[in-house]
Structure 1
Amino acid sequence: MHPSLQDIRLVAFDLDGTLIDSVPDLAAAVDAMLVGQRLAPVGEAKVRDWVGNGSHKLVERALACVLGEAPDTARVTASHDGFLRAYHAAPCERTRAYPGVSEALGSLEARGIIVTLVTNKPAAFIDPILEALGLRRYFRMTLGGDSLAEKKPHPAPLLHLAAQFGVAPAQCLMVGDSRHDVEAGKRAGFRTLAVPYGYNHGEPVVSSRPDGVVESLGELV
């Protein structure tokens, strides 16, 4: 057993950048939203640095980049609606699970560890993507960025999961790719484990000082 799993009863995984590489589809939706406003597309590389704080923030960052200034709230709201329409139309055409993900989830399930998911992505997208990738069956509970009043890096979603299953935070593990995952885990009293290959706004996730790092989730098998 990997040291990070010692005495752990519940694992909460982040989604984008941890379990799946969703940027190709997110970038396509962002660009469709921009082109629909006769603005220049931004492309996949930029979107890769903007993911992680929820879809509203992603849209806001894209608009600010193209407009050269912070967009007003009304424009962000209207643009966000356009982004959601585009993303709903194709949420999992080029999105793929990272190597080792299904093996890790299956191994945790076989050991009787409670597997959950907490993401800042809107909840409506979670099941369609997990189903398309054959991963939904592993998760006992999933939370999106709009499932509760607060989202990561606030600890509330993680504490909600722990409470739902009656597990002490000290026996829970947060697995993610960004400083927001690590911060949420630490604030909730969870152990934290990071992967270095995801989306962290161009910063190495180790600088957030997680309790552990794995190059691949396959190391948890």
Structure 2
Amino acid sequence: MSRRREVGAVLFDLDGTLLDTAPDMAAALNRLLAEEGIAPLPFSTIRPHVSQGSPRLLELCFGRPEPAQFELLRQRFLDHYQRGLADQTRVFDGYDEVLAALELAGLRWGIVTNKPGWLTEPLLAALGLLERSGCTVSGDTLAERKPHPLPLQHAARALGLPAARCVYVGDAERDVQAARSAGMMAVVAGFGYLGTDTDPASWQADAILARPTDLLAWLGLQ
């Protein structure tokens, strides 16, 4: 059976995979640093950590403060981020073609992210993607988040497909771990927020994409 016939849906991680959110995340972090009287960090320093979410970004700047202080910093960062949620964020170049090709081929697609729903849904709506997505599973949709397989399993059920007929595309090792545990094919967005010390070849994914449109060739749609 060809891969095109095997696959019924493609699920995407959000930050660093489908969307280039790093510019807005970096801007929010540097606004917080300015409030604290700390010099801004270069974008190149921030970008590799964006997929790991606010805890890693705050640790990058503040180390590991006491839990109460950390929570205050986290909320201030998220407040800044929410206000500029879609100022500079765009789909990575090539995804307009990819999503259109998936839809034309009758393949469903959806989102599984650890980003909370109160940020995920407004962001997707601002970019015209919320209504197109066949399912959206955010970090607070369920009791578990990636790398637990439950969010991916939930997404497959929402699309009415067995997990084995779904592909998950992400840019972090936990994405591959979640896909494997869920029984899905795993694809790495090699153009995402990978650090220089990251070796995605060691994650044992089914494919590593150099650019979004490589997904179409891998699926047999190009």
TM-score normalised per structure 1: 0.88
- C-alpha distance 5-208 of structure 1, shift in aligned 2 (>3 A): farther
- C-alpha distance 170-32 of structure 1, shift in aligned 2 (>3 A): same
Say whether 1:189 aligns with 2:179. no
Match of 1:145 in 2: 139
**Inter-partner Cα distance in structure 1 for 2:3 and 2:28:** 36
Q: CA deviation at 1:194?
A: 1.5
Match of 2:47 in 1: 48
Among candidates 81, 86, 89, match of residue 95 of structure 1: 89
Say whether 1:176 aligns with 2:170. yes
Letter in 1 for 2:165: Q
What is the SS of the residue equivalent to 1:136?
coil
Q: CA deviation at 1:137?
A: 3.2
**Inter-partner Cα distance in structure 1 for 2:76 and 2:43:** 18
Letter in 2 for 1:27: A
User: 5+ unaligned residues in a row in structure 2: which ranges?
Assistant: none
- C-alpha distance 4-78 of structure 1, shift in aligned 2 (>3 A): farther
**Inter-partner Cα distance in structure 2 for 1:193 and 1:83:** 30
What is the SS of the residue equivalent to 1:174?
strand
**Inter-partner Cα distance in structure 1 for 2:169 and 2:14:** 9
- C-alpha distance 80-139 of structure 1, shift in aligned 2 (>3 A): same
1:194–1:206 CA contact under 8 A, matched in 2: no
Letter in 2 for 1:61: L
Match of 1:120 in 2: 114
Residues 78-113 of structure 1: CA deviation (Å, up to 9, x unaligned): 001101110111111122211210111121122222
Residues 123-171 of structure 1: CA deviation (Å, up to 9, x unaligned): 2222332233333332011122222222111111101111223321111
Match of 1:67 in 2: none
Q: CA deviation at 1:49?
A: 1.9
1:91–1:129 CA contact under 8 A, matched in 2: yes
Letter in 2 for 1:118: V
Aligned counterparts, 1:68-107, within 5 A:
70-107=64-101
Match of 1:15 in 2: 14
Among candidates 204, 212, 217, match of residue 209 of structure 1: 204
2:115–2:139 CA contact under 8 A, matched in 1: yes
Letter in 1 for 2:202: S
Identity value in percent:
36
What is the SS of the residue equivalent to 2:10?
strand
Task: Give the root-mean-square deviation of aligned CA atoms.
Answer: 1.9
**Inter-partner Cα distance in structure 2 for 1:193 and 1:74:** 37
Letter in 1 for 2:169: V
Letter in 1 for 2:61: A
User: 5+ unaligned residues in a row in structure 1: which ranges?
Assistant: 65-69
Give the count of matched residue pairs: 214
